[in-house]
Amino acid sequence: MAARVLNVNVGVLGHIDSGKTALARALSTTGSTAAFDRAPQSRARGITLDLGFSCLRTELPPQLGPGPGELQLTLVDCPGHASLIRTIIGGAQIIDLMMLVIDVTKGMQTQSAECLVIGQIACQKMVVVLNKIDLLPEGKRQSAIEKMTKKMQKTLENTKFSGCPIVAVAAKPGGPEAPESENPLGISELIEVLKSQAYLPSRNPSGHFLMAVDHCFSIKGQGTVMTGTILSGSVSLGDNVEIPALKVTKKVKSMQMFHTPVTYAMQGDRVGVCVTQFDPKLLERGLICTPDSLHTIHAAIISLKKIQYFRGALPTKAKFHITVGHETVMGRVMFFSPAPANFNEEIQENVFDFEKDYLYQEQYLSKDSVSSEENKENDQAGEVQLPKQQWALLEFEKPVTCPKLCLVIGSKLDTDIHANTCRLAFHGVLLQGMEDKNYTETFLPKLKVYKQKHKEGQVERVMDDYSVIGRSLFKKETNIQIFVGLKVKLSTGEDGIIDGGFGQSGKFKIRIPDGLKPDTKMLLTAASKKKSKGGKGDMNKEDESSKNDSAQPVTISLIFKRYVFDTQKKMIQS
Task: Give the model confidence (pLDDT) of 479-531 as tens digits.
Answer: 999 999 999 999 999 999 999 999 888 899 999 999 999 999 988 888 777 66
pLDDT at position 312 is 87
Amino acid at 191: I
Q: What angle do CA 86, 388, 450 make, to 5 degrees?
A: 90
> Which residues are bridge partners to 510 per DSSP?
468, 498
* Strand, helix or coil for residue 319: strand
* Buried residues in 162-191 as b, exposed as e (16+ CB within 10 A): eebbbbbbbbbbeeeeeeeeeebbbbeebb
pLDDT at 179: 75
Q: What is the largest CA-CA distance in the chain?
A: 111
What does the alpha-carbon distance between residue 38 and residue 84 come to, in Å, rounded to a whole number?
17
Strand 125-131 relative to strand 254-257: parallel, antiparallel, unpaired?
Answer: unpaired
Q: ∠176-181-184 over CA atoms, to 5°?
A: 65
| 469 pLDDT higher than 90 | yes
Binning pLDDT at 50, 70 and 90, where does residue 15 land? confident
pLDDT digits (tens, 9 = 90+) for 372-397: 444 444 444 456 789 999 999 999 99
Residue pair 513/418 in contact (Cβ under 8 Å)? The answer is no
Find the length of the chain. Answer: 574
Confidence of residue 37 (pLDDT cuts 50, 70, 90): very low
Q: What is the pLDDT of residue 120?
A: 86
pLDDT one-digit tens code per residue, 345-381: 888 888 899 999 999 999 999 987 765 444 444 444 4
Least confident of 59-73, 305-319, 347-361, 499-513: 59-73
The residues pairing with 217 across neighbouring beta strands, listed in sequence order, are 225
pLDDT tens track for 76-85:
777 644 444 5
- The amino acid occupying position 443 is F
DSSP state of 329: E
Q: Is 136 helix (H, G, I), strand (E, B) or coil?
A: coil
pLDDT band at residue 418, thresholds of 50, 70 and 90?
low
In this structure, the strands spanning 358-361 and 449-464 are: parallel
Q: Does residue 20 surpass a pLDDT of 70?
A: yes
Query: What average pLDDT is seen over the chain?
Result: 83
| Spatial distance between the Cα atoms of 287 and 245, rounded to a whole number of angstroms | 8
pLDDT > 90: what percent of the chain?
45
Q: Which of 145-149, 439-443, 478-482 has the lowest mean pLDDT?
A: 478-482
DSSP category for residue 406:
-
> What's the pLDDT tens digit per position in 211-245?
888 788 898 888 999 988 888 889 999 999 999 88
Q: CA quadruple 168, 169, 175, 176: dihedral positive or negative? A: negative
Confidence of residue 403 (pLDDT cuts 50, 70, 90): confident
CB count within 10 Å of CB 309 equals 15
Closest to 297 in 3D by CA, of 449, 443, 91: 443
Q: Tell me, what's the pLDDT at 497?
A: 97
Determine the pLDDT at residue 377: 47
Task: Please report the pLDDT score of residue 194 as a whole number.
Answer: 92
Residue 426 is predicted with a pLDDT of 94
Tens of pLDDT along 258-292? 778 999 998 878 899 999 999 988 887 778 999 98
Looking at the predicted structure, is the pLDDT value of residue 44 above 50?
Answer: no
- Select from 321, 326, 324 the least CA-distant residue to 310: 321
Beta bridge partners of 271: 228
| SS3 assignment, position 28 | coil
Across 25-29, 311-315, 421-425, 510-514, least confident range = 25-29
Task: Look up residue 501 and give its DSSP letter.
Answer: E
Alpha carbon 553 to its chain centroid, in Å, reads 49
Q: Element (H or E) spanning 111, and its range?
A: helix 110-122
CA proximity to 398, closest of 503, 327, 482? 327
Given a cut of 60, whether residue 167 has pLDDT beyond it is yes
Q: What is the pTM of this model?
A: 0.76
- Of 163-167, 264-268, 378-382, 423-427, highest mean pLDDT: 163-167
Query: Is the separation of the CB atoms in 48 and 26 below 8 Å?
Result: no
Q: Is the dihedral of CA 469, 474, 475, 477 positive or negative?
A: negative
**In 3D, which of 427, 364, 393, 412 has the Cα closest to residue 298?**
393
